[in-house]
Amino acid sequence: MIVTKNLRKVFVTGLAARRTTEAVRCLNLSIEKSEVFGLLGPNGAGKTTTVKLICGLIRATSGSIYLGGHKLSPHSKWPSQLVGAVLEGNRNVYWNLTPQENLLYFARIRGVHERDARSRAKALLEEFNLSSKYRDAVGTLSRGMQQKLALCCALISNPPILLVDEPTLGLDVSAARAIRAKLHLLAKEENRAILVTTHNMRLAASICDRVGIINNGEMVRIGEIGELAGLLETSVYIVECNGSLGDDRRGKLLRIPGLTLHGGENSYEIKLLAGSRGLTNKRLYEVIEILRGEHMQLVSVREDKQSLEDIFVRLTEEIPECNT
């Protein structure tokens, strides 16, 4: 349903001194119907730019985009009946209009017949528990309601492809859970292809079938959610110690897989990247035995969960090459 090949976007800023920023580079995606695909990355990684490219808000510098088997050209009309987009939730609804007016407006610009638009709007407002607010200005609604309305506006034309940018950003637990559940149903029961962008790996783990991790505009890993979800449980053991560390013992430490050594002048911090529990324990004991052999003083041994930023650093060590 959604295919991109070597997709690239370069922004040019400045008049006298022109500067270029490569926001998306060599992006290859393939998303099937009934699939929820998560595009993960830190802020500024290129997630929102990717969504804007696919939904036609901006033009690609190079590369190809296929939607439902049809290739989009720079001069082709964006297939509004084919794609619904939600850009950071409440940003793409009009706050001075009511929920009903928003739905009818988006239905009209997407070519939905007025009679069908009114019946779909009514059904969507009921489905998302917004019927009681259909005459209220959107600006008076809670962020969760605005987010649900934005999703309704994307669905008003009944598109088979849905692009959702940061769907639970800023929502409370209850509203976020409702959005996650609805996205899952839209894919599995209504056979839509859904692309979700987020920097929240736990959100992706809860609804996505596959995940792609993007950093600095480049895709650095794609895999089944079961394969990548284990990264959430990755830990680092940190050993702090004092004393003089000889070259022989230092060499033994640095030969341990996943270990980095920091500090000097009688104060050291050793970081040991966790693997399986048994293997990690074995390596940790090995580190402690080496330090004991040097008669060093152990200050502390603690476990730190890897942050998402740490995971991105690990995954971006190898960057794919772009064949244009």
Which of 231, 254, 287 terminates a domain? The answer is 231
Q: What is the DSSP letter of 91?
A: G
Q: Is residue 85 part of a domain?
A: yes
CATH number at residue 273: 3.30.70.600
Q: Are residues 84 and 9 in the same domain?
A: yes
Q: Are residues 49 and 142 in the same domain?
A: yes
> Hey, is 46 helix, strand or coil?
coil
* Domain region containing 152: 2-231
**Residue 190 pLDDT exceeds 70:** yes
Number of domains observed in the structure of the chain = 2
Which of 210, 231, 252 terminates a domain? The answer is 231
Contacts 24+ apart (CB under 8 A), 20-26: 22/217, 23/49, 23/217, 24/49, 24/50, 24/53, 24/60, 24/217, 25/216, 25/217, 25/218, 25/322, 26/218, 26/219, 26/320, 26/321, 26/322, 26/323, 26/324
| Pick from 230, 210, 213, 205: nearest CA to 315 | 213
**Residue 223 pLDDT exceeds 60:** yes
Dump pLDDT digits (tens) for 162-172.
Answer: 999 888 887 88
Q: Is residue 313 part of a domain?
A: no
CA–CA separation, 137 and 105 (whole Å) = 14
Q: Once rounded to an integer, what is the mean pLDDT over residues 73-80?
A: 67
Structure confidence at residue 231 (pLDDT): 59
Least confidently predicted of 102-111, 114-123, 292-301, 314-323: 314-323
CATH number at residue 169: 3.40.50.300
Structure confidence at residue 66 (pLDDT): 93
**Residue 196 pLDDT exceeds 90:** yes
Q: Is residue 315 part of a domain?
A: no
Q: Are residues 32 and 150 in the same domain?
A: yes
Dump pLDDT digits (tens) for 103-120.
Answer: 999 999 988 999 999 999
Q: Are residues 213 and 73 in the same domain?
A: yes
Residue corresponding to tokens 């990684």? 45
**Which residues are paired to 300 by β-bridges?**
240
Provide the whole-model pTM: 0.73
Q: Are residues 84 and 128 in the same domain?
A: yes
Structure confidence at residue 264 (pLDDT): 76
Structure confidence at residue 118 (pLDDT): 95
Structure confidence at residue 11 (pLDDT): 93
Q: Are residues 241 and 286 in the same domain?
A: yes
Q: Are residues 19 and 119 in the same domain?
A: yes
Q: Are residues 267 and 203 in the same domain?
A: no
